[in-house]
Amino acid sequence: MQVVVCKNASEGAEIVTEEILSALSKKPELVLGLATGSTPIEVYERLICAHKEDGVDFSSVQTFNLDEYCELNADHPQSYRTFMREHLFGEINISEENIHFPPSEGPELAEKCLRHEEEIRQAGGIDIQLLGIGSNGHIGFNEPTSSLASRTRIKTLTEKTLRDNSRFYEDPSEQPQVASTLGIGTILDARRILLQAYGDKKAEAVKASVEGPISSFWPGSALQMHADVTFVLDESSAAHLEMIDYFRKSRTEGLRLQKDNTA
């Protein structure tokens, strides 16, 4: 596990964007696992800029989004499909058939979730998975007590998550109570994981995920079992980390070695 403490969210977004663009330059058919919410928006803005200003080609990229609400259609303003069209897909040259969301509509959702897992396997697996983290430690919509081996499935949202997202709904009765999500086991199958977390509201979840025991009560702690995961933080979200000085030293030494090897 690597922990990178940035000056601010913009610096963190730049680091994540550079990782994606570097991987894309080596593998045009890159498979990306994508997140929604405010945290990844700056990354998506930078990817759009790379496409429009530098000609970066996304035509062979495949994407698998982390989650989607089950009670919203694709055109609903609060659906994650709408979010992704507005913040990324509508501005780059990605093929519609290469865009995937976990199933969230119609009958037999359990069977559709199994087929979604097979689609990920047929794509060759996720190369880079982008993550945020909820204040209760959820990744995707894997709420506390989710199985650490879980796969794509339907989850009921906790009251904490519903409260955190309630600002988006003027009428509480319109807020979805369930969602489809990639499972923790599915997320851990990704070759590389980049998690962004900014602000003091995420500090407890970051502390539990990075330095706490591995526990289903803090789903993000499962990332400790991954061989190539980076937490990209700001000073506020990293404030509770006991090993913060070590993480800073490790980052400095890693950059120094990288520079020496390319000199």
Q: What digits encode the pLDDT tens for the residues 34-54? A: 999 999 999 999 999 999 999
- Among candidate residues 42, 68, 117, 143, the one labeled active-site is 143
Task: Report which of residues 78 and 256 the model is more confident about.
Answer: 78
Catalytic: which of 136, 142, 189, 234?
136
Alpha-carbon Rg for the chain in angstroms:
18
Summarised one tens digit per residue, pLDDT across range 98-141 is: 999 999 999 999 999 999 999 999 999 999 999 999 999 999 99
Average pLDDT along the chain: 94
Active site residue 138: yes
Catalytic-residue membership of 226: no
pLDDT, tens digit, 9 for 90 and up, residues 198-252: 999 999 999 999 999 999 999 999 999 999 999 999 999 999 999 999 999 998 8
Rounded to an integer, what distance in angstroms lies between the CA atom of residue 206 and that of residue 218? 10
Place of tokens 């020496």: 260
Active site (annotated) includes residue 143? yes
Residue-level pLDDT at 168? 74
162 pLDDT band (50/70/90 cuts)?
A: confident
pLDDT at 247: 95
240 is catalytic: no
The one catalytic residue in 42, 67, 117, 189 is: 67
For position 172, what pLDDT does the model report?
74
- 191 to 46, 50, 179, 200, 220: CA distances (angstroms): 22, 23, 25, 29, 17
Q: Is the dihedral of CA 157, 129, 183, 1 positive or negative?
A: negative
Distance CA 169, CA 189 (A): 34
Q: Which of 134, 129, 127 is nearest to 39 (CA)?
A: 134
What's the CA gap between 238 and 204, in Å, rounded?
Answer: 9
Of the residues 127, 138, 189, 234, only one is catalytic, namely 138
DSSP 9-50: HHHHHHHHHHHHHHHHHH-TT-EEEE--SSTTHHHHHHHHHH
Confidence label for 164 from pLDDT (cuts 50, 70 and 90): confident
As a whole number, mean pLDDT of residues 81-100 equals 97
Return the minimum-mean-pLDDT range out of 141-145, 173-177, 228-232.
173-177
Domains recognised in the chain with CATH numbers: 2-262 (3.40.50.1360)
The DSSP bridge partners found for residue 232 are 4, 196
* In the predicted structure, residue 28 carries a pLDDT above the cut 60: yes
Largest pairwise CA distance in the chain: 60
pLDDT at 263 over 60: no
- Of the pLDDT bands very low, low, confident and very high (cuts 50, 70, 90), residue 256 is low
